């Protein structure tokens, strides 16, 4: 599995990359016997810790199809389902932004199809909100090592961005309705439009997608928002300078 993931994006050998992608696609759609499931997840966990960020992305794509193909099996094996969630939530904090963003999309898909239970989803939501609320220092303290300050700031931005991606997954998981928890998440995201990059880019992308998927039934959807929430959203979604 590791060899396939490492070579799936090979630019030097396009034929090899194609064959590896075909092999991964075929493997991911296999029904896994119950006794093999722990071994399969161990292999996936191993590759998800690779030094290659492209291998991690390949494994996230593989994992997403693997989970949907074996959904019934995972529903009967809570401990194995928890391992899947742990892999995705770990990679949503990866140093590489491409890996974080891919993990966020995979998480959104898992929430959308109810692979993640309501209790676990609620705990994840609280965890992401906590990460988003952590402060990011704008200036170093007096006599603080500039390099140390920069390292700590980069780490703080990464943690907040992972929280933003996690909350974004909840938005993407409800493309055609507004569940009870969604308005509050949207307001939290709106508060971070002026954070350090790449956070604003992620937030803008979420609202663009939210507008695209909810505009057809907006007259109905807006009934689930308070006046203040509706005013904030309207300002974000129709402001002429928003997409500038």
Q: Is the pLDDT of residue 241 over 90?
A: no
H or E element in which residue 220 lies: helix 218-221
CA distance 173 to 179: 10
Distance CA 70, CA 128 (A): 27
Q: How far apart are CA 170 and CA 124, in angstroms?
A: 10
pLDDT value for 243: 45
Supply the pTM of this predicted model.
0.93
Residue the block writes with tokens 């891919």: 102
Q: Tens of pLDDT along 64-108?
A: 999 999 999 999 999 999 999 999 999 999 999 999 999 999 999
């Amino acid at each position: 599995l590791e060899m396939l993931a490492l070579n799936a994006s090979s630019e030097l050998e396009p034929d090899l990359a194609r064959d590896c992608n075909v092999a991964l696609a075929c493997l991911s759609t296999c029904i896994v016997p119950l006794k093999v499931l722990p071994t399969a997840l161990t292999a996936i966990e191993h590759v998800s810790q690779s030094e290659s960020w492209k291998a991690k992305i390949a494994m996230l794509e593989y994992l997403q199809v693997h989970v949907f193909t074996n959904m019934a099996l995972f529903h009967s094996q809570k401990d194995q389902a928890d391992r899947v969630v742990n892999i995705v939530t770990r990679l949503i904090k990866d140093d590489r932004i491409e890996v974080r963003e891919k993990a966020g999309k995979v998480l959104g898909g898992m929430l959308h199809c109810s692979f993640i239970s309501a209790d676990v989803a609620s705990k994840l939501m609280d965890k992401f909100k906590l990460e988003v609320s952590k402060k990011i220092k704008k200036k170093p303290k007096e006599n603080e090592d500039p390099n140390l300050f920069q390292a700590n700031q980069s780490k703080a931005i990464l943690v907040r961005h992972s929280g933003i991606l996690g909350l974004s997954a909840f938005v993407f998981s409800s493309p055609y309705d507004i569940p009870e928890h969604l308005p509050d998440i949207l307001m939290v995201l709106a508060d971070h439009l002026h954070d350090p990059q790449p956070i604003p880019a992620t937030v803008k992308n979420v609202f663009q997608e939210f507008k695209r998927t909810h505009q057809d039934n907006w007259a109905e959807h807006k009934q689930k928002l308070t006046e203040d929430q509706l005013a904030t959203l309207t300002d974000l979604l129709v402001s002429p300078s928003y997409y500038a």
